[in-house]
Amino acid sequence: MTTQTTQTTQTTHKVTLTINGQPYTAEVEPRLLLVHFIREVAGLTGTHIGCDTTSCGACTVLVNGVPAKSCTLLAVQVDGAEIRTVEGLEQDGKLHPVQDGFVQEHGLQCGFCTPGMMLTAVALLERNPQPTEDEIRRAISGNLCRCTGYVNIVKSIQYAAKQMREAQATPAPAPVGAEV
């Protein structure tokens, strides 16, 4: 499972992550942060880095369905996990209702915090299909946005919640992208 490199005592570990349904295996240093695995090993650059104190949430991904700040997890620490990133939200050419909501309600400006913000919203709505404004604000309080002032992000999530409830009420011809 581990190999010794020649130059240092450093051990590497074989890590396999399933990202958006696709397995990625790499031999990595234990210190490799999950966000760097996603961005540089898997080449999925939609997940961003905005701070170094676990404050901003730009790096938020879903780890086994739960939002996590991928700059504060080691890749080895989540070996074997199912990871979902922004690139995995659109399914079969159909946007996730949260993606649609962010467009319809102008929930993004520069777009840098948006992937993390959307993944937090996706997890919230999977857990709580009808959140109040206060519950939405609480849920996204680990994601900083400098552009929007959050008003339209809240509306975007409310829009998505409505779409998802309606889709559930009247069975849609195709799934709307939420995990089943």
Partner 1 sequence: MATETETPIRGMGHSVKRKEDARFIRGRGRYVDDIKLPGMLFLDIVRSPYAHATIKNIDASAALAQPGVLAVITGKDLDAAGLAWMPTLMGDKQMVLPVDRVVYQAQEVAAVVATDRYAAADGVALVNVEYEPLPPVTDPIKALEADAPLVRPDREQKTNHIWHWEAGDAARTDELFNQAEVVVKEDLYIPRIHVCSIETCGCVASFDAVEGKLTVYMTTQAPHAIRTVFSLVTSIPEHKIHIISPDIGGGFGGKVPVYPGYVIACVASIKTGHPVKWIEDRSENLQADSFARDYHITAELAAKRDGTMQALRVKTIADHGAFDAAANPSKFPAGLFSVITGSYELDAAHVEVDGVYTNKPSGGVAYRCSFRVTEAVHTIERMVDVLAQKLSMDPAELRLKNFIPPEKFPYKSPTGWEYDSGNYPAALRKAMEEIGYEQLRREQAEKRARGELMGIGLSTFTEIVGAGPSHTFDILGIKMFDSAEIRVHPTGSAIVRIGVQTQGQGHETTFAQIVAEELGLPVENITVEHGDTDTAPYGLGTYASRSTPTAGAATAVAARKIREKAKNIAAHLLEVSPDDLEWENYQFRVKGTPGKAVTMQQIAFAAYTNHPQGMEAGLEAVDYYDPPNLTFPFGAYVCVVDIDRGTGEVKIRRFLAIDDCGNIINPMIVDGQIHGGLTMGMAPALLEEITYDENGNIQQGNFMDYLLPTAMETPAWETDKTVTPSPHHPFGAKGVGESATVGAPPAIANAVVDALSHLGVTHIDIPITPWKVYKILEEHGVAES
Partner 2 sequence: MIPDRFEYYAPTTLAEAINLLQQHPDETKVMAGGQSLIPLMKFRLATPGYVVDLRNVPHLDVLQERDGSLIIGAMVREARLESSALIRQRYPALLDTSSVVADPIVRNFATVGGNLAHADPANDHPAMMVALRATLLAQGADGQRTIPIDDFLVDTLETSLKPDEVLVEIRVPQPAPRSGAAYCKLERKVGDYAIAAVAASVTLDENGACTQAGLALTNVGPKAIRASAAESFLTGKPLNDETIREAAKLAAEAAEPGSDLRGPADYKRAMVRTLAARALRRAAQRATGSIAHNGNIGGGVA
Which residues contact partner 2 by CB under 8 A? Answer: 8-11, 13, 29-31, 33, 52-55, 57, 60, 63, 66-69, 71-74, 76-77, 79, 120, 138-139, 141-143
- Choose which of 42, 78, 113, 160 interacts with partner 1 (CB under 8 A): 113
Contact status, residue 50 vs residue 56, Cβ threshold 8 Å: yes
Query: Smallest Cα–Cα separation from 143: which of 49, 19, 55?
Result: 55
The Cα 93–Cα 106 span in angstroms is 21
Residue 78 or 154: which CB sits closer to partner 1?
A: 154
Question: Can you list the alpha helix ranges (DSSP code H) found in 13-150?
Answer: 34-36, 97-104, 114-127, 133-139
- Choose which of 12, 82, 104, 162 interacts with partner 1 (CB under 8 A): 104
Separation of first and last alpha carbons in the chain: 33
Minimum distance of partner 2 from residue 92's CB (angstroms): 28
Residue 61 or 81: which CB sits closer to partner 1?
A: 61
Residue 44 or 78: which CB sits closer to partner 2?
A: 78
Contact status, residue 118 vs residue 89, Cβ threshold 8 Å: yes
Residue 73 or 176: which CB sits closer to partner 2?
A: 73
Beta pairing, strands 60-63 & 22-28: unpaired
- Choose which of 15, 17, 32, 75 interacts with partner 1 (CB under 8 A): 32
Number of residues that bind partner 1 (CB under 8 A): 59
